[in-house]
Structure 1
Amino acid sequence: MRRTDVRTPVAAAAATVLGALALSPVLSSGTWVRPAVDAVLVVLLTGLALRYAGQAIAARAFPRRPVPAPLAALGTVLVPAGQLTALTGYLIARFTSPGGIRALVPTPDGIEALLAVLRDGADEIREQTAPALPVAALMALIALFVGLVAVVVDLLAVGGRQAAFAGPTLLVLFGVPVFTLGGDIGLVPVVGPAAGLALLLWADQSRQLDGAARRSGRHHAGGGTAVRIGLVAVLIGVLGGGMVPTLAEGSLSGGPGGAGSTGTALDPVASMVGELTRNNPVDLLRVETPVPDPGYLRSVTVDRYDADAGWSPGASGALLPLDAQLPVTHDQTTGRPLTARIEALGHDDRFLPVPVAPLAVQLRDDGNRWRFDPLSGTVVGSDVTSEDRVYEVTASEVRPTPEQLAATPPLRPGDLQERFLALPPLDPRVTAQVDELVAGVEGGYARVRAILDFLTDPASGFDYALSTPPGTSGDDLVDFLTERRGYCEQYAGAMAVMVRAAGMPARVALGYTPGTVQDDGSRLITSDDAHAWVEVYFSGLGWVPFDPTPIDVDRRADLPWAPRVVAEELPELEPDLSALPPDLALLDPVSPLGPDLGSTDPTATDAAPADETSFPARAGLVLLLAAVAGLPAGLRLLQRRRRLALGTAGALWDELTATADDLGVPRDPSWTPREAGQALAERTAGSEGAEAIQRLARAEEVSSYGPGPDVQDDGLVAALRTARRQLVEGAGRRTRLRAAFLPTSLPGAVRAALPGWAVRRPVLPGPWRGSRRA
């Protein structure tokens, strides 16, 4: 095979790989790269083999004449069909079979197994959130997606010899992070496809110039124009990428998360106070565990704090299936093994209560519809609830000693601190209180203990109560610290804010206390056991619970590293239900520092202020509209540059007639080049343009009817520039604008290029060249 026969397919494959880099921020690790690259290699090698075989067969069957057009068209279609077959075989062998050559041949059973894997991948897209965990089913779907893009790019760039039209196909890959991620998507998703486009243009221009060099016997300077266009594309992507409007962070399908909670359960956007104030408690869970003093059962965590709205859930992490190895953030030597069998009695919720730091969760049925979010430490169901469920949990409950906590190293900068240390501007009275408590205190654990002691010390004057007087400061946190009266969520919410202000990552956990021991040794958890506490992150130990709320000794979990100041002298105050205001049940548990009577949609994410999003969104929309409006002009410019790079009489005459079509000059397809040249010369604004047109017409006539090859002539390029300038100057302003942004010659050139794929003509036929040779 000739050198150009290999260069373009390889460039198309490399461009697809570069474009696939746009998927990197959508997935949590890089394990998807190998299957995707292998899929592109399968497409590349299959295409090279089929085209080489086709050329060999054509050379034997038609040694001295060209291949008939129908057979050439059939060969063009068979190549992508073979590539799709090979890609299917690779996916079956990679994701459904143990291996072997036989697995590479698609069979009905193999295709059925592959379809089952792809359906699982589609389920992962609906259930996971970005950045997603690249499980096997999802990697199969990604490999198929990238492989299909590789087939299309190869068909356009190699089979159709229209690499410029193959470039926009890479935008399909770029669109994935744009429509699934919120905020910045990074440079790689922008630079990767832009570099792929530059590579395609360089390969196409080099192929065109190689052909012209072979005809003229001269060497070309390379694809400098394509490289410059690619660099401009990269620059535009880097500068304008941040202005592309994006959707909210989270679902891979671009939609919101799962449904909200139902029934008698803790819901991050429903009122926990409703559980605390029931006159008749409801039996929720029965727990069987050999451990005499189990810790809290965590349902959900909230880690996003707003001074007005309080605490709310943050974005989900990569959701793991329960049969996967669940990650543990602490050394298991510092944890206590714990097993528990939990039966849902009256509990009906999409969040499954589990001990802190679960290692495995086993459900008797529908286990594949539950996922574990390692970022929030919660088990969440997809279109399923905990009603009548029985499940077993194995956990490694972190049980550090005060000495271990004091010896933990400082946290290193990273995403954990960015998310779990984030705070809005706080009232100066809050920061002054925190500064007073941690002044001169060294070490993260010592600072956390100082804040805990402040909230649990009787001398501080804090009281447990469900009824709190209305505040006057306009800040719920300030009101709580001033009135010093509240319930568990206000204690936990206040401590989490103060701990973050002291420099330690913290979040609020919602769940249940261990409940009361029954005669059979099991523990019964009722709605009275609904509770909120604080979890603080320590290096090497993970999330460690702290509980500042003064509840009864019999109800609270045993936390030796977080003792209360004179704890046994602080019995829980019985709530005075008669004193509750009638609207107390509307209090939002994710806003523990005050009521929030707004939306109760658990899937809604915090909307950014209009000031921050309106300008980028509008600017991105304007940029997108401008790109769409300028697409015909850009394609027309690429076409003109390609013809100028060729420099042959035929290519330059095509450009001249295309310019005349764009300007609306009447034409007759039956005209010869000489007749067309005379008609065009009459339209020019001066004799210089008329002379240039006549020269181009004579060159085209000699090239079409003369015995010599269609060679380059350096003077013809200058003649074309002069002729185009004179034609444009002779048209009106409106005509010039229409010709620039709505070139009428472009659709005809595209239609003329389609049948040219079979015979692989490098130059688009112009509408004035009715007498051109085939």
Structure 2
Amino acid sequence: MTSTLSRPAPAPASAPQAPRRAPSADPWHWAVTGASLLAVLAAASSLNGVVEPWTWLMPVLRTLVPVLLAAALTRALGLGSMITALAGVLALVGALTAQFFPRQALIGVIPGPGTSLELQRLLAQAEETVVSQVAPVLPGAGIFLLVCAALGLIAIVVDLLATTMRMPAPCGLALILVMVSPAIVKPTGVGMFAFIVTVLAFLFLLATAQWRENRLASGGARASSGFAGRSAIIGAAALAVTVILPMFVPGFNSGAFPQGARLNVWGNATGLNPAVTLGNDLRNPTGFGRILYSTNSDNPVYLRAVTLEDFSGRRWEPDERNGDRESDVAEIGAEDGVPGAPADSSPVFTRVSTQSYASPWLLTPYAPVGISNLTGNWAWDPANLSILATDGGSTARQQYLVQSRSSALTREGLGNIGPSDTEAVPDVFAALPDDTPEIVRTRTEEITGEFVNPYDKAMAIQSYLRGPEFEYSVEAPVEGGYDGSGMDVMARFLESKSGYCVHYAGTMAVMARAAGIPSRVAIGYTPGSPTGDTEEGPDGVELSEFVVDSRNAHAWPELYFEGVGWVQFEPTPSRGVVPTYAQQAFSPVGPRADDGNALNPSGLPGATGRTDPATDPTNAATGSQGAGSEGEATPATGLLAIGGVALLALLPLLLRTVRTRSRRKSVAITDVSAGSAGAATAAWAETTEIAGDYGYPLEPTDTPRTFAGRLAHEADLAGEPASSLARLRNAYEREEYAERGAAIGSPGAVTPPVPFHGSGRPGPSGTPAVGTPAVGTLARAVSPPRWDDVDTVTRALRRGSSWSTRIRARLFPQSLLNRFRSDPRD
């Protein structure tokens, strides 16, 4: 009797799935735009120290928020990428107009008549700030206009890359652009705080962008593919590169990036005000801006560029006085209030070769009476004898001859001079602003109160500043936040009693005015070091050659004595030369070898056979620190280099480990809750990549069965490894080819469309061929994948490989050449 098989009942209908979100619906772009805003603001934190800290924050927020809000709204309306970029640019123009051109604006945000003229004025103001102020510069509309415009454009680029183009990784280049200016201007580089917050913000942007991609790919459902781990690896790679790169790129100096490293792209001091770069020059131990000069002077020669007279305001800068200048520098007359040269005085000749030094202010000994062989148009100021280029020229690669005069001053002669007439010099040399700190006045009264003559008062001030309480340091002002000049800076210097020449010179000049002595601050270079060469000067005069560079940059006070003129003093300890008339027996610091009486052979290092470390010119940038400080930095630099190289070497291993852990996690979830989508695919992807790392790559024409059969045969997998490989393959086939909700072999299941491709090769040791479909393999439900099977196959591959293959598979896995993906069939 033949039994009749009943027709199988139809498979139960699967539960209706929730409709997926339309691809155009993308509310998650708002999160990426917000992350872009945070990233740009984090990079902008490096501007602290370029401008006064956090003064830039509100103008930048008032610029970036409207720009990114306009871009996000346009994107939400689905108007296209070009319209989004255009909306961002228009919003930037409107935000800048509302902030910086409110009087010229139409309805508050549209540039109106007069905007171009106001723009030119603000740009000129910004240029003046850049060339005439020392960082951090004072907050001003011109400099903030440039900052806000630049950051607004960078924010548009970052938002387009991360949100519209969905390429967040290149945004790091835009963020680096923000930090270029601080790396150039700030003496300590970008700074660790700004660097760390920028890196964290960039990683957050990467993670947010990947989270958005996962949401879009899953139709809004929650998904995870290890994007946070990948972001951390990218950040580690960026950190390693930034640590190592400055050690091999010319221009980075003074430490490891970002703290202590300064990108020096100019190579020499430039700008309208030599005082701008003075502090940075002194902190640069390499020495640049080389200048040669030859002279027949019997006294050490200071090369003087400008003087600072106006002590009002928060920054001191030279007054150009273009309307009062005389154009003929071949014959320079006497300075205002200064008598002419004595009839019996012999001329001093100095030939100067500027080489790479570039400045619109000419370097000359004081006091010049004539200059020859200059190229360009130059004019001199009768108020201070400063010489300025009037045609936009500079001192670069000039070689000129200066004739000057010097007075034979004595302590006794200066001590017999009484207080000067108030009308002897212009008021600017004697005026004290109303905001002069009380500590300046009280300390001056304590020091000079018992003296009457200007000379005695001046010597009391100089002796006080050169006393044991004060210390020369180029770092203390930076750490204490009083670098540069200004009345508040002088007050903080008197409290901390540590600083460099600008602070000593400025403080003595201010205290001299408080004591009734007209004063000013000269900016230039100390005498430098002799080269040992000589050359012939005018009328056969022999000129001895000296060299100076940025390490000799200096500031010193000049005080006015009626009937004599302007007299130089030296209050800075361990720097410069104390003139003979200003020396006292109890002076604690003597002349330095390089800047002392270098014309006297007994003052040279070779005369004694030894050099005082405190006077070594290579240590001029660090004050009293010896050569040991440089040696102490070498091990740290070496450790950083070794650590960076090690991090780069281990980077492939870290990337591979992160990917493996992400896949292990997805399979572990399956062990608890069977049926989680993607688990078998993740396990199979890990298996095929591990096999490729050990020399058994997945070919483009391979099906799961042909690959499994070839791997079992070539790697000699038998026993438990072969069974594990078969289970991984079966789970993958089921997940990839079976209908969702139906087990393979159950009614309604679909047989996987995989070709045979010769997969019936016998397995090793008599085991069934892994690639051969066993009867009922697809006719029964396959258990969820287990990570133990992946580990079993991995251990078998490792045991069957040579030690070199094992090292290559761990440290340089071939699977990293493939892009991050979950589907191995690509």
Normalised by the length of structure 2, the TM-score is: 0.48
Q: Is the 8 A contact 2:101 2:111 kept in 1?
A: no
> Structure 1 residues 236, 509: closer, same or farther in 2, change over 3 A?
closer
| SS of corresponding position for 2:48 | helix
1:455 and 1:46, CA in 2 relative to 1: closer, same or farther beyond 3 A? Answer: closer
2:635 to 584, 608, 615: 615
Aligned partner of 2:564 among 555, 560, 572:
555
Q: Which amino acid aligns with 2:256?
A: V
Checking the alignment, whether the CA contact within 8 Å between 1:644 and 1:717 is kept in structure 2 is: yes
Q: How does 1:389-468 map to 2 (within 5 A)?
A: 395=428, 397-398=430-431, 408-409=438-439, 444-445=443-444, 448-449=447-448
Summarize deviations over 1:41-71 as a string: whole Å, max 9, x none.
35532442343232xx7xxxxxxxxxxxxxx
Residues 1:30 and 2:86 aligned together: no
User: In the superposition, relative to structure 1, how do residues 48 and 618 fare at CA in structure 2: closer, same or farther (>3 Å)?
Assistant: same
Aligned to 1:535, what secondary structure does the other structure show? helix
Partner residue in 2 for 1:480: none
1:327 is aligned to 2:336: no
For residue 438 of structure 2, what is the amino acid of its counterpart?
Answer: T
Structure-2 change in CA distance of 1:100 and 1:394 (3 Å): farther
Structure 1 residues 247-286: Cα deviation after superposition (integer angstroms, max 9, x where no partner): 9888885643228999xxxxx99899969869xxxxx99x
Contact 1:496 / 1:508 at 8 angstroms: preserved in 2? no
Mapping 1:102-501, distance limit 5 Å: 130-133=135-138, 135-159=140-164, 161=166, 163=168, 166=171, 170-174=175-179, 177-178=182-183, 180-183=185-188, 186-204=191-209, 206-207=211-212, 244-245=256-257, 253=265, 255-258=267-270, 299=307, 326-327=313-314, 341=324, 343=326, 346=329, 350-351=360-361, 384=394, 395=428, 397-398=430-431, 408-409=438-439, 444-445=443-444, 448-449=447-448, 496-498=465-467, 501=470
Asked if structure 2 preserves the Cα contact closer than 8 Å seen for 1:28 and 1:132, the reply is: yes
Change (3 A) 1:178 1:450: same
Shift in Å, 1:667: 2.8
**1:706 partnered with 2:738:** yes
After superposition, give the CA deviation of every residue in 1:677-703 in whole Å (9 maximum; x if it has no partner). 444455487755554544443344334
8 Å Cα contact 2:36-2:159 kept in structure 1: yes
Q: 2 CA distance for matches of 1:748 and 1:116?
A: 55
2:93 matched to 1:89?
Answer: yes
**Whole-angstrom CA distance in 1 between matches of 2:387 and 2:643:** 41
Equivalents in 2 of 1:595, 1:42: separation in Å? Answer: 65
1:102–1:445 Cα change, 3 Å: closer
Q: Per-residue displacement from partner, 1:478-498 (whole Å, max 9, x unpaired)? A: xxxxxxxxxx9x999766422
**Which amino acid in the other structure matches residue 554 of structure 1?**
G
CA distance in 2, matches of 1:710, 1:114: 71
The offset of 1:196, in angstroms, is 0.6
**Match of 2:702, as an amino acid?**
W
Deviations 1:696-732 (A, max 9, x none): 4334433433332999x98556655665565556544
Residues 569-590 of structure 1: CA deviation (Å, up to 9, x unaligned): xx989xxxxxxxxxx999689x
CA pair 227-721 structure 1, distance change in 2 beyond 3 A: farther
Alignment-derived partner of residue 804 in structure 2: 734
Give the aligned residue type for 1:41. Answer: V
2:701 partner SS: coil
> Which residue pairs with 1:535 in the alignment?
508
Instruction: Specify the alignment match of 2:698 in structure 1.
Output: 667
Distance in 2 (CA, whole Å) between partners of 1:540 and 1:548 is: 11
- Going by fraction, where is helix more abundant, 1 or 2? 1
For 1:683-722, what aligned pairs fall within 5 Å after superposition?
683=715, 690-708=722-740, 715=785, 720=790
Q: CA deviation at 1:21?
A: 1.9
1:465 aligns with: none
Residue-by-residue CA offset, 1:198-237 (whole Å, 9 max, x unaligned): 423542564466578878x779899886898799999999
Relative contact order (alpha carbons < 8 A, sep ≥ 6): 1 or 2 greater? 1
Superimposed CA distance per residue, residues 524-571 of structure 1 (whole angstroms, 9 cap, x where no aligned partner): xxxxxxxx9971667997998599999975225799xx9xxxxxxxx9
Cα shift at 1:189: 1.0
Amino acid at match of 2:730: R
After the TM superposition, which of the residue ranges 113-122 and 201-210 deviates more from structure 2? 113-122
8 A Cα contact 2:445 2:515, kept in partner: no
TM-superposed deviation, 1:769: 0.5
- Report the residue type matching 1:705 in the other structure: Y
CA contact (8 A) 1:663 1:731 kept: yes
Task: Name the CA distance, whole Å, in 1 between partners of 2:27 and 2:194.
Answer: 31
Q: Call closer, same or farther: CA 1:507–1:611 in 2, change over 3 Å.
A: closer
Deviates more, 1:593-602 or 1:676-685: 593-602
Q: Distance in 2 between matches of 1:261 and 1:17?
A: 31
Question: Of the candidates 48, 60, 72, which is equivalent to residue 48 of structure 1?
Answer: 72
Q: What is the DSSP-based 3-state SS (H/G/I as helix, E as strand, rest coil) of the residue aligned with 2:825?
A: coil
CA distance in 2: counterparts of 1:695 and 1:663, whole angstroms:
21
* Residue 769 (structure 1) aligned with residue 807 (structure 2): no
In structure 2, the CA distance between the partners of 1:506 and 1:174, relative to structure 1 (3 Å rule), is closer
- CA 202–555 in structure 1, closer or farther in 2 if over 3 Å, else same: same
Structure 2 counterpart of 1:188, one-letter code? F
Structure 1's unaligned 5+ residue stretches are 58-74, 263-267, 279-283, 286-296, 302-321, 330-337, 354-365, 371-377, 412-442, 459-487, 511-531, 563-570, 574-583, 750-762
CA change 1:115–1:699 in 2 (3 A) is: farther
What is the one-letter code of the residue matched to 1:93?
A: T
Structure 1 CA distance, aligned partners of 2:456 and 2:360?
37
Amino acid corresponding to residue 57 of structure 2 in structure 1: V
- 1:12-32 CA-to-partner distances (Å, cap 9, x unmatched) read 332332233233233334333
Q: Report the CA distance shift for 1:556/1:15 in structure 2 as closer, same or farther (over 3 A).
A: same
Q: Structure 1 residues 7 and 676, CA, compared in 2 at 3 Å: closer, same or farther?
A: farther
- 2:39 aligned partner: 15
1:394, 1:640 → 2: CA distance?
77
Look up the SS of the partner of 2:307 in the other structure: strand
Aligned-residue CA RMSD (Å):
7.1
Closer, same or farther in 2 for the Cα pair 1:708/1:21, shift >3 Å?
farther
Decide whether the 8 Å contact of 2:52 with 2:136 is kept in 1: yes
Q: Distance in 1 between matches of 2:510 and 2:430?
A: 14
Name the amino acid aligned to 2:45: L
How far off its partner does 1:298 sit? 6.9
8 Å CA contact 1:339–1:393 kept in 2: the answer is no
Q: Deviations over 1:324-348 (max 9, x none)?
A: 994379xxxxxxxx99956476469
Q: CA shift at 1:379, angstroms? A: 11
- Residues 47 and 83 of structure 1 are in contact (CA less than 8 Å); yes or no, is this contact kept in structure 2? yes
Structure 2 unaligned spans of 5+: 1-24, 247-253, 275-281, 283-289, 333-351, 353-358, 364-375, 381-385, 401-424, 472-492, 521-555, 572-579, 583-592, 668-677, 744-782
| Number of aligned residue pairs | 555
**TM-score w.r.t. structure 1 length?**
0.51
Assess if the C-alpha contact under 8 Å between 1:27 and 1:131 holds in 2: yes
